[in-house]
Chain A
Amino acid sequence: MNYRDEDLIKLAFGELDETEAETLRKELAADAAASSQIGEYNWIKEGLSDLRPVPPMQYSTERLRDAILGEGLNVRKRNPLALILAWTPAGAFGVAAVITGVMLMRTGPESLVPANLQSETSLAQVAMQMDDLHRPLLAERAFRTLDDQVRASTEFKVGFAPVAEETAEPEPKDASPKVRFAAQPTRSAPAVRRETQRTLTPETPAAAPVMEVAAPETADAATEQAPPIVMIGSEDDARTGAPIATEVRFDANVVVGG
Chain B
Amino acid sequence: MSTAITAPASYTARVELDRDSDNALVRLAREGNYEAFEKLFERHRQLVYRFAYQMAPRRDDAEDIVQEAFVRAYQNLGRYRDEAKFTTWLLRIVTNLCTDHARMTHRRQVLEQQEAGEGLLWMTVGDTDDPVANLEAQRRVKALRKALNALPTHHRTMIILRDIEERDYNDIAAILGCTVGGAKLRVLRARRALRDRVAPLIGEEKP
| Chain A, interface residues (CB within 8 Å), range | 35 or more
- Please name all residues of chain B whose beta carbon is closer than 8 Å to the beta carbon of A68 when the two chains form the complex: 34, 37, 70-71, 74
- Please name all residues of chain B whose beta carbon is closer than 8 Å to the beta carbon of A195 when the two chains form the complex: none
B88 sits at the interface (CB 8 A): no
- Please name all residues of chain A whose beta carbon is closer than 8 Å to the beta carbon of B85 when the two chains form the complex: none
The proximity string for A residues 216-256 relative to B, scoring 1 for CB distances below 8 Å and 0 otherwise, is: 00000000000000000000000000000000000000000
Asked if A40 contacts B202 (CB within 8 A), the reply is yes
A32 sits at the interface (CB 8 A): no
Asked if B74 contacts A57 (CB within 8 A), the reply is no
- Please name all residues of chain B whose beta carbon is closer than 8 Å to the beta carbon of A57 when the two chains form the complex: 45-46, 49, 59, 62-63, 66
B102 sits at the interface (CB 8 A): no
B residues 4-45 near A (Cβ < 8 Å) are: 29-30, 32, 34, 37-38, 41-42, 45
Asked if A9 contacts B70 (CB within 8 A), the reply is no
- Please name all residues of chain B whose beta carbon is closer than 8 Å to the beta carbon of A75 when the two chains form the complex: 29-30, 32, 74-78
| Chain B, interface residues (CB within 8 Å), range | 35 or more
B92 sits at the interface (CB 8 A): no
Question: Out of B59, B76, B164, which one reaches A58, CB within 8 Å?
Answer: B59
Bound form: Cα–Cα A128–B39 in Å: 86
A61 sits at the interface (CB 8 A): yes
- Please name all residues of chain B whose beta carbon is closer than 8 Å to the beta carbon of A69 when the two chains form the complex: 34
- Please name all residues of chain B whose beta carbon is closer than 8 Å to the beta carbon of A59 when the two chains form the complex: 45, 49, 63, 66-67
B residues 62-110 near A (Cβ < 8 Å) are: 62-63, 66-67, 70-71, 74-79
Residue of A whose beta carbon sits closest to that of B162 = A13
A64 sits at the interface (CB 8 A): yes
Bound form: Cα–Cα A48–B145 in Å: 9
Residue of A whose beta carbon sits closest to that of B64 = A59
Bound form: Cα–Cα A46–B198 in Å: 13
In the complex, what's the smallest C-beta–C-beta distance from A79 to chain B, in angstroms? Answer: 9
Main secondary structure of the interface of B (DSSP, over half): helix
Asked if A50 contacts B163 (CB within 8 A), the reply is no
A65 sits at the interface (CB 8 A): yes
Question: Out of B53, B67, B125, B202, which one reaches A64, CB within 8 Å?
Answer: B67
- Please name all residues of chain B whose beta carbon is closer than 8 Å to the beta carbon of A45 when the two chains form the complex: 163
Asked if B144 contacts A48 (CB within 8 A), the reply is yes
A51 sits at the interface (CB 8 A): yes
- Please name all residues of chain A whose beta carbon is closer than 8 Å to the beta carbon of B163 when the two chains form the complex: 13, 45, 48-49
A76 sits at the interface (CB 8 A): yes
In the complex, what's the smallest C-beta–C-beta distance from A4 to chain B, in angstroms? Answer: 11
Asked if B63 contacts A44 (CB within 8 A), the reply is no
B183 sits at the interface (CB 8 A): no
- Please name all residues of chain A whose beta carbon is closer than 8 Å to the beta carbon of B79 when the two chains form the complex: 76, 78
A residues 9-68 near B (Cβ < 8 Å) are: 9, 13, 40-41, 43-55, 57-59, 61, 63-65, 67-68
- Please name all residues of chain A whose beta carbon is closer than 8 Å to the beta carbon of B70 when the two chains form the complex: 64, 67-68
Asked if A53 contacts B191 (CB within 8 A), the reply is no
In the complex, what's the smallest C-beta–C-beta distance from A10 to chain B, in angstroms? Answer: 8
Bound form: Cα–Cα A52–B51 in Å: 10
Asked if A65 contacts B38 (CB within 8 A), the reply is yes
A6 sits at the interface (CB 8 A): yes
B180 sits at the interface (CB 8 A): no
The proximity string for A residues 62-94 relative to B, scoring 1 for CB distances below 8 Å and 0 otherwise, is: 011101110001111110000000000000000
In the complex, what's the smallest C-beta–C-beta distance from B36 to chain A, in angstroms? Answer: 11
- Please name all residues of chain B whose beta carbon is closer than 8 Å to the beta carbon of A43 when the two chains form the complex: 140, 198, 202, 205-206
Question: Out of B34, B38, B66, B140, which one reaches A50, CB within 8 Å?
Answer: B140
Task: Given the known inter-chain contacts A44-B198, A52-B164, A54-B54, please indicate yes or no for A77 contacting B191, CB distance below 8 A.
Answer: no
B192 sits at the interface (CB 8 A): yes
Bound form: Cα–Cα A9–B50 in Å: 25
Asked if A54 contacts B191 (CB within 8 A), the reply is no
Task: Given the known inter-chain contacts A51-B164, A54-B54, A75-B75, please indicate yes or no for A40 contacting B195, CB distance below 8 A.
Answer: yes
Task: Given the known inter-chain contacts A50-B125, A51-B164, please indicate yes or no for A74 contacting B75, CB distance below 8 A.
Answer: yes
- Please name all residues of chain A whose beta carbon is closer than 8 Å to the beta carbon of B140 when the two chains form the complex: 43, 46-47, 50
Give me the interface of A with B, judged by CB distance under 8 Å: 5-6, 9, 13, 40-41, 43-55, 57-59, 61, 63-65, 67-69, 73-78
User: Which 3 pairs across A and B sit closest by C-beta, in order of nearness?
Assistant: A47-B144, A77-B78, A59-B63
